[in-house]
Every structure is written in structure tokens, then in C-alpha cells.
Amino acid sequence: MLGKMALKPYLIYEITDLTKGEPDSPKITSFKLVSKDGQNFKFLPGMFSSIFINPEDKLFRSYSIASSPLSRHMEFMIEMINGKFTSRLSGLKVNDEIYISEPRGNFVYNPENVEKALFLAAGIGIAPFFSMLRYVRDIDMKKDITLLYSVKHKEDIVNPSELDGFTNIGLNAVFTVTRDPEDVKWKGETGRINIPMIKRHISDLNSRTVYLCGGIKFVKDIVSELVAEGIRDEDIKRDIWGE
């Protein structure tokens, strides 16, 4: 029956928790899963898996893993845009089963090998960075990481208090909102991430490994700006989603 699936190997996971982002990021649903037979995939922080709902059809989408590789749960943070696949995901409930392909991808962060990092995320492109930061926390390391995270509205920030808590592992988290410039309660950055904004928060851009995740325009624009700043291509790791 499972032979029709396009990607193998895969495991069956059960949904144990479905939560909206904290405090109430309305568009994001976090799916927490446990493997049905207790066998878990091994992965590195930053990798993604494909999710299938029905093994009888070939519809699947890829999602970055947001949980730490050391966590018992596997977690995905998914923006419910009511598209072909997300509209089906929104019908799922706790205890339902879904099918997860073996994690893969080259967008991998190994804290042992990276001295100083700059993480740049747009929208739900923050998901793989949760896996990276949670992993650093789980292995009890302290790193020098600056994160610039852009969202349309401040309510879109996923798990802001968890991100703030990562100061313990050496994270400097900077949020920027690209809409609502008139919101007088917002004291953080506004507008899209660019080199001047990055330089307001770090003085050593050229000695950092840069990790970027988001839509194709976000990634392409920033990569060209970074290259123009003299950052070497091999120091820019990128994960591009969609068109």
C-alpha cells in the first residue's frame, strides 16, 4: 500500500500536539509528532522532510524540521496559507497519522564547526533556525549568533519568548516588521533586512558564516548584497522555498 509513495524511506508519525504560534501567531501551526514504532529519523539541524497525508496519493510538500535532533518529538512549523496541501493539513487532528520522508538537504548548521554565525530569516523561514538554536541549547554550547528575523506584522513572530530565551546560548535576536510602520508600540527595526540594518547589529559581518532562509526574492536580494560586501559564496548557506 505504501509503495506508491514517491519518496522513500519514510516513517509513520502520530500527531501529539497541534498549536498555534505563541502568543497567538494566527497563521502558523506547529505540528508535534512522535514516531509510531519508536524508531526516529536522525537528522542535522537545518534539514527538511517531505510530508504526505495519504499514502495512496502522491501529493506531498517539504517542510524544514523545527525540532532539535535530540528531541523525542519531531516538530514542523507550517504557515497555513490554504493552498493545495496546507488546506488538507488544516483538517488534521491530534492522534492522526502522517507520513514523513527521510530528512535531507545541505542547509545544515554544525555549531562545532562555525565560530560566529549570522542567521537571516523571513516569515516562516525561521523554522530551521529553531532546530539549530534548540540543538545548541540541548548540547549546552554557547555561541556567537545574531539573528535578523523579518515578519510582516509583529504578531507573525513565532515563539518570541523562546527566541528571547536563547540569549543564554549567545543569541542576539533582532526582529524587523515590514508592514505596520505606523504602529507606535513597535520599538524594533522596520523594513526589509539589508546591509545597513545588518551593520547596525554586528560589526564583524566579514568574519561570520551567514545562513539565510525564506522565499526566493528575499534570499536572492540578500545574497547579492552580501556578495557585493565581499562575503565569500562558501560563507553564505541558503535555503530557498517556492518561486
Ligand X SMILES: Cc1cc2nc3c(=O)[nH]c(=O)nc-3n(C[C@H](O)[C@H](O)[C@H](O)COP(=O)(O)OP(=O)(O)OC[C@H]3O[C@@H](n4cnc5c(N)ncnc54)[C@H](O)[C@@H]3O)c2cc1C
Binding site for ligand X (CB under 6 A): 48, 61-64, 76-79, 81, 83-86, 123-124, 127, 239, 241-243
Q: Which residue is nearest to ligand X, using beta carbons?
A: 83
Least distance between ligand X and beta carbon 226 (Å): 21
Least distance between ligand X and beta carbon 123 (Å): 6
Closer to ligand X at the Cβ: 96 or 144? 96
Closer to ligand X at the Cβ: 122 or 210? 122
Closer to ligand X at the Cβ: 111 or 123? 123
Closer to ligand X at the Cβ: 38 or 242? 242
Least distance between ligand X and beta carbon 19 (Å): 15
Least distance between ligand X and beta carbon 198 (Å): 23
Closer to ligand X at the Cβ: 51 or 198? 51
Question: For residues 61 and 41, what is the distance between their CA atoms, to the nearest angstrom?
Answer: 18
Least distance between ligand X and beta carbon 18 (Å): 14
